[in-house]
Amino acid sequence: MSEEASMWAQATDTKSTPFSSPNLHVENLPLPPSFTWGAATAAYQVEGAHDKDGKGPSIWDTYSHLTPSRTNGANADVTCDQYHRFEEDIQLMKELGMETYRFSISWSRVIPLGRRGDPVNEAGIAFYNRLIDALLQVGIRPSVTLYHWDVPQALYNRYGAFLNTAEFRADFERYARLCFSRFGDRVKEWVTFNEPYIISIFGHLNGSLAPGHCAEQGTDTVNEPWRVGHTIILSHASVVKIYKEEFFPEQKGEISIVLNGHFYEPWDTGSEVHVEAARVRLEFYIAWFADPVYLGTDYPAVMREYLGERLPSFTEEELELLRATRDINTFYGMNHYSTKFARQLTDPPAADDWTRNIEESSVNSAGEEIGPASSMPWLRVAPEGFRKLLSWIWDRYHVPIVVTENGCPCPGEEDVNIAIDDQFRQRYLGLYLDSISRAISEDGVKVVGYYAWSLMDNFEWSSGYGPRYGLVHVDFETLKRTPKNSAYYLKETFQERRKKA
């Protein structure tokens, strides 16, 4: 048994739990011939060239240079340097059989100051044109995210970015129009925002991500996260309306949003209180955004009841916009990594509580773990939860699902040999692809694509360069790229799974 296999065995040596596959055995189940796959990245995490060719600073450029450091002593000034090495990366993608590359555009690279009326940086436009053209030349479809957490610092300085709904919405509309007009003749899959839950909670409540708002800093964490979420929902709706009316007739592309979320199991299945907590946690996490976007409705009633005036209200005009644009969202972008237990607490909650006083953990009331741990303690291998979440989303919204992010960092991956022979990751990916197959064939869920996170090891936000999620290993001293065995595994497994269908 290899060192990595031994590590997996130790990780799975926990009490048996009804919420995980009993033996976590990969079956290599079939996927439809039309099923597409690829990998994903985000601009700030991989591009580097943070101040080159006219690019302006983003809130992540600022946040990653704070003293004392809040990003594990690291920043993404260079990171993978994809800005200068994208041709090498595209050649790797081609060799690995990838069909789609999901990446994001850096707003401050194309409009350095960010605002409507501010100058466009043609050097930034030219970079993304080269990237898109190079992808298409080798038959890889670009999937483009407009916003992956890196708002121009100038907008934050001017009006607090998401905290001013009217100003941000107008500036985001101008930025989106620019991208549609310059790239939309070749880009046929658009995402407006990546993970608004993370932007709202991690950026504007617990402060672990840029811009780092938290109670200790003196910001209004009671109300800010809900205002931020409200701004994102309305900005998204405005932009999909613009795309449908002004660009779709000629460009014929698709557009939607990407929402992240764990699945939740009750901490104690014998208690109705905890069963309800699992349901409520899904609504606070996912339906917060998905109900207005995909159903064209108000926020979930359970949120409105608990949060009261903390939760902004939609005007009748805004509700009409949501109703008018819900069907324009032609797919559900789903980022998913793991499953947790939900436990209803009874102690009085904090004033800025955002969960309805529900605690989430990896261990239930019987001491059973939800699944083996990756190198990130919160990220457990729980493929059955993934299948359940696919069904929950399909049953509630009935929109084709693209899994826009899924992956894990391996235990022990600081050892380059384990990093390359990443058996833990291969097992994780195989199990989660099996869950997609079961969701399609047995549960009737329409899942149409899968983008692994991530194409390559990169700057992992507040964790710096610690955890490695990549299919391609990056030596951050030399920037040498080396495909891991999981990359070859995905190439082979997709070929085999689609042949079986």
* Active-site residue set: 195, 405
**Spatial strand order in the sheet of 358-361:** 263-266, 339-344, 358-361
Would you mind telling me the total number of residues written for the chain in this entry?
501
CA–CA distance, 171 with 191 (Å, rounded to integer): 17
492/483 Cα distance (integer angstroms): 14
Which tokens hold the place of 450?
């899968």
Residue entry with tokens 């689609």: 498
Contacts for 23 with CB less than 8 Å, ≥ 6 apart: none
Identify any residues that bridge with 333 across adjacent strands, giving them in sequence order: 258, 402
Give the helix, strand, coil percentages of the chain, each rounded to 5: 45, 15, 40
Whether the Cβ atoms of residue 326 and residue 295 lie closer than 8 Å to each other: yes
Query: Which residues lie below 8 Å from residue 395, measured CB to CB, with a gap of 6+?
Result: none
- Residue 130 and residue 86 in contact, taking contact as beta carbons nearer than 8 Å: yes
- Output the CA torsion sign for 476, 67, 45, 195: positive
Q: On the CB side of 209, how many CA atoms lie within 13 Å of its CA?
A: 19
> Sign of the CA dihedral 474, 435, 38, 287?
negative
Q: Rounded to the nearest 5°, which phi and psi values hold at 190?
A: -120, 145
Q: Give the 3-state secondary structure of residue 168.
A: helix
Cα–Cα dist 91/94, whole Å: 5
Q: 41 with 85: CB under 8 angstroms?
A: no
Give SS3 for 402: strand
Contact 321, 234 (CB under 8 A): yes
Residue by residue, DSSP assigns 286-354 as IIHHHIIIII--PSPHHHHHHHGGGS----HHHHHHHHHHGGGB-SEEEE---EEEEEE--SPPPTT--
